[in-house]
Amino acid sequence: MKGICILGATGSIGVSTLDVVARHPHLYKAIVLTANKNIELLYEQCLVHHPEYVVVVDEAKAAAFSEQLINSPIADIKVLSGTQSLEFVATLDSVDSVMAAIVGAAGLLPSLAAAKAGKIILLANKEALVMSGDIFMQAVSESGAQLLPIDSEHNAIFQCMPAGYKSGMHAKQARRILLTASGGPFREMPIEQLVNVTPAQAVAHPNWDMGKKISVDSATMMNKGLEMIEACILFAMTPDQIQVVIHPQSIIHSMVDYVDGTVLAQMGNPDMRVPIAYSMAWPDRFESGVEPLNIFDVARMDFSEANLERFPCLRLAYEAIHKGGIMPTVLNAANEIAVDAFLNEHIRFTDIPVIIERCMEKFTVIPARTLAIILETDAQARVISKQIIADINR
């Protein structure tokens, strides 16, 4: 029986993880569930899984949740609040695996704490690696932690790597990664019409059920840009060795091209329970609850190159990783602020890459040697991005 801590239990990844946990109660026990504000869903999850700890980051919501537990069947659950509590629960002795599924930069510190504590890290938070790749991978190496990627693309790549492969290891026989992307809901929309895209349109992904922020990132292809940066770190590849491929059907989740001409691809229905179950069972496999892929229903698969004019956010991600140092942190912070502004209808969809690029132009590249530098850069980039948004709206 393994104890699992789910950071971001009420998000789409957290919900899917608990679905897999419920299918294997003899193998996994949910020790910790965390949420930001959604205490209604969290309460329902607690009734089913009865964790030892709950963290509600928002202190007012945590107090309300504690009140709700009084005289309930789950009154013995320990309720914590605040961001520091996330780091505490991620390092508990009773926790073997940590599902790092908090979206954005907020997931960095608890994920890094889990790495330093030598946990099995099921990494769904790509921003942790984008912001602090070298520091994160060093922590994994020094502690003996096991890092297993949850993003469907990185999980697919991991599955296609040689036997015995571990994250961060250079696979000598692999010469190229083909990182697939659906292209989002606007891959065929005339570019001049993108200016009128609404938040409701942007979050309506054609293939995947995801949160609002990630759905917008998929529509701008920033999600793929962040995944490209993450792939460089996870698989010890250069940006020039990673090619983004538009694959609208989302059946092939990514491919690895080997020196002998072999290309290995991982295929499956677009359901996050597949990579979650693979990583939880690794190095074995167990049932995920996902319907088997029927290739006759698929019938055809299409592939095309990513158009950087249509997807300038992807171009900016390549620029950020080529420049290195703090620039991926700047990219990520500016994107988070811009996407939030778009979802709240303060800017247009086409303003997102403009804000990111203007923010990047404000920074001189320096090495991201310490966590303090990374966190300071993140904070500065957010302030600058908000000012750029204010200037746009004048």
Query: Mean pLDDT, 10 residues at a time, over the chain (394 residues)?
Result: 96 96 97 95 97 96 95 95 95 97 87 96 90 92 96 95 85 92 89 92 73 89 94 94 94 96 96 96 96 93 92 96 96 96 96 98 95 95 97 88
Return the SS3 of 282: coil
In whole angstroms, what is the distance from residue 96 CA to residue 2 CA? 6
Residue 242 parent element (H or E): strand 242-246
Contact 175, 256 (CB under 8 A): no
User: What residue has token string 């709950």?
Assistant: 54
CB-count burial class (<10 Å; 0-12, 13-18, 19+) for 346:
middle
Tokens matching residue 256: 């690895």
- pLDDT given at position 209: 62
- pLDDT given at position 144: 95
On the question of a cis peptide bond just before residue 283, with omega within 30 degrees of 0, the verdict is: yes
In whole angstroms, what is the distance from residue 56 CA to residue 5 CA? 14
- pLDDT given at position 208: 59
In whole angstroms, what is the distance from residue 275 CA to residue 78 CA? 30
- pLDDT given at position 207: 61
Ordered by where they begin, the domains of the chain are: 2-149 (3.40.50.720), 152-316 (no CATH), 324-394 (1.10.1740.10)
Strands 263-267 and 2-7: unpaired
**Phi and psi angles of residue 77, each rounded to the nearest 5 degrees, phi first:** -70, 135
In whole angstroms, what is the distance from residue 203 CA to residue 343 CA? 9
Contact 318, 228 (CB under 8 A): yes
Q: Which amino acid is at 89?
A: V
- pLDDT given at position 205: 66
Residue 101 CB partners (closer than 8 Å, separation 6+): 6, 7, 8, 9, 11, 13, 14, 17, 107, 124, 125, 150
The dihedral sign for the CA sequence 115, 329, 374, 86: negative
- pLDDT given at position 354: 97
* The 304-305 sheet, strands edge to edge: 263-267, 252-258, 174-181, 242-246, 304-305
Contact 33, 54 (CB under 8 A): yes
The angle at the Cα of 316, spanning 315 to 319, to the nearest 5 degrees, equals 90
- pLDDT given at position 206: 64
In whole angstroms, what is the distance from residue 392 CA to residue 394 CA? 6
Return the SS3 of 7: strand
Q: Which amino acid is at 121?
A: I
211: left (phi over 0), alpha (psi -120 to 50) or beta: beta
Tokens matching residue 51: 């964790």
